[in-house]
Amino acid sequence: MKPPPFDYHAPRSVGEALETLADVGEHGKVLAGGQSLIPMLNMRLAAPGHLVDINRLTELATLDVEPGGVRVGALARHAQVERSEEVAAAQPLLRQALRLVAHPVIRNRGTVVGSLVHADPAAELPAVLAVLGGSVRLARPGTVRDVPAAGFFTGILESAAEPGELAVSAFFPLLPPRSGTAFREVARRHGDYALAGVAALVGLDDDLRITTARVACVSVGPAPVLVDVTEACGHRPPASADWASAARAVQERTAPEADIHATADYRRHLTGVLAQQALRDAAREALDA
């Protein structure tokens, strides 16, 4: 469990990092928190010729609450985002989800942007980006592009970030007024990747009737499964919403696979249970908002 040989680069500026990444092209890999990449190197599941370590790029360790949303720089650690009161006030779903990501020591190193680029179908943050309709900003020398969540997660461990590109930040939109969020999951052990998990967003109108209800599910497809259940809930107040039919609508959209920890049926069942719980929780928050 030692990595194969690679060249190590430690750029001092974003510009230098972009140049290096452009130079090494498809032989390069960005090293952020290393919580996913280093195990893959050690198990020789990945063998990039070049590692471009971005940990010295303090200019990327940013966390800004902007008028439209929260912008998280590529070097902002899970823990930093999780603990920010300002972020929690602006976009509570980030903290709700981050508490379920791994363990504190891993959150001290792992980055939010790294987690998005890594695109693990069991990871929480891709679901958060998906349900909020956020985006990731990708850069290469001279160009920057923003890729919306809907197009960012392209497959199991695959994202729209191309070789040579650096994800510099991610953007999580603020909640509209009278909205609430929740994250519910079941993991085998505390802090494990979830067997199933649901991020939910519920928005109400001035009469406190449901106008938006959507969920993003983890571990039930190659990428977060985004389902709009506004219709299924009915244009009703939360107390009389048909959560069960919403949950059924979610289940119908999932195509989980069996693995050594759970059958596909169980995952689908859990997704229904969790969707209902998460939607109720989110609606309760919306009422309190």
Partner 1 sequence: MTTKLFGEPVRRREDPRLLTGQGRYLDDLGGDALAAAFVRSPHAHARIRDIDVSAAIDVDGLVAIYTWEDLPALLAQPLPLLIPHPALTHGRTAHPLARDVVRHVGEPVVMVVARDRYLAEDACALIRVDYEILKPVVGVEEAAQSAQLVHDDVPGNVGAHLVQEVPSAAGLGAREAIDAAPHTLAFRLDIERSASMPLEGRGVYARWDADDRSLRVYTSTQTSTSVRMAIAAKLGLPLPKVEVIAPDVGGGFGVKIVHPWPEEVLVPWAAILLGREIKWAEDRREHFVSSAHERAQVQSVRVGFDDDGRVLGLEVNILHDHGAYTPYGIIVPIITSTQLLGPYKIGAYRVEFSSIYTNTVQVTPYRGAGRPQAVFCMERTMDHIAAHLGADRTAVREVNFIRPDEFPYDQGLIFQDGRPLIYDSGDYPESLRMLKELIGWDSFPEAKARAAAEGRRIGIGIGCYVEGTGVGPYEGGHVQITSDGRVHVSTGLTSQGQGHETVFAQIAAAELGVPLERVSVVTGDTRRFGYAVGTFASRAAVMSGNAIALACRKVKEKALRIAADALEAAPGDLEIVDGEVRVLGAPGASIPLATVAVLSNPLRYAFDEEAARATQFAGTPAFDRPPVEEGQEPGLEGRDYYSPLRSTFASGMHAAIVETDPLTAEIRILRYAVVHDCGNLINPMIVEGQIHGGVAQGVGGALYERMVYDEHGQLLNASFMDFLMPYATEIPLVETAHLQTPSPLNPLGIKGAGEAGVIPVSAVIASAIEDAEGIGIDRMPISPSELFDLRRAATGRSTSET
Ligand X SMILES: Cc1cc2nc3c(=O)[nH]c(=O)nc-3n(C[C@H](O)[C@H](O)[C@H](O)COP(=O)(O)OP(=O)(O)OC[C@H]3O[C@@H](n4cnc5c(N)ncnc54)[C@H](O)[C@@H]3O)c2cc1C
Q: How many residues does the chain have?
A: 289
Shortest distance, CB of residue 27 to partner 1, whole angstroms? 18
User: Applying CB under 6 A, does 32 fall inside the site for ligand X?
Assistant: yes
Amino acid at 38: I
User: Applying CB under 6 A, does 96 fall inside the site for ligand X?
Assistant: no
Taking a C-beta distance cutoff of 8 angstroms, is the pair 194, 125 a contact? no
Give the one residue of 123, 167, 182, 247 binding partner 1; rule: CB under 8 A.
247
Give the one residue of 73, 92, 110, 197 binding ligand X; rule: CB under 6 A.
110
* CA dist., res. 264 & res. 256, Å (int): 5
Q: Which helix (H) or strand (E) holds 170?
A: strand 166-173
User: Applying CB under 6 A, does 147 fall inside the site for ligand X?
Assistant: no
**Nearest Cα to 110, choosing from 215, 284, 120?**
120
Binding to partner 1, residues 141-200 (CB under 8 A): 186, 188-192, 195
Selection from ligand X, partner 1, none that 244 binds (CB < 5 to 8 A by kind) is: partner 1
* CA dist., res. 226 & res. 127, Å (int): 8
Residue 194 is encoded by which pair of tokens?
């979830």
At residue 256, the 3 state secondary structure works out as coil
- Give all strands (DSSP E) within 5-140, no chain letters: 7-9, 28-31, 50-53, 63-65, 69-73, 135-140
Selection from ligand X, partner 1, none that 248 binds (CB < 5 to 8 A by kind) is: partner 1
Number of residues that bind ligand X (CB under 6 A): 29
Selection from partner 1, ligand X, none that 269 binds (CB < 5 to 8 A by kind) is: partner 1
Q: Among residues 54 and 215, whose Cβ is nearest to ligand X?
A: 54
User: Applying CB under 6 A, does 117 fall inside the site for ligand X?
Assistant: yes
Selection from partner 1, ligand X, none that 81 binds (CB < 5 to 8 A by kind) is: none
User: Applying CB under 8 A, does 45 fall inside the site for partner 1?
Assistant: no
* CA dist., res. 97 & res. 124, Å (int): 6
* Positions in the binding site for ligand X (CB under 6 A): 29-37, 74, 101-102, 106, 110-111, 113-115, 117-118, 123-125, 161, 166-167, 191-193
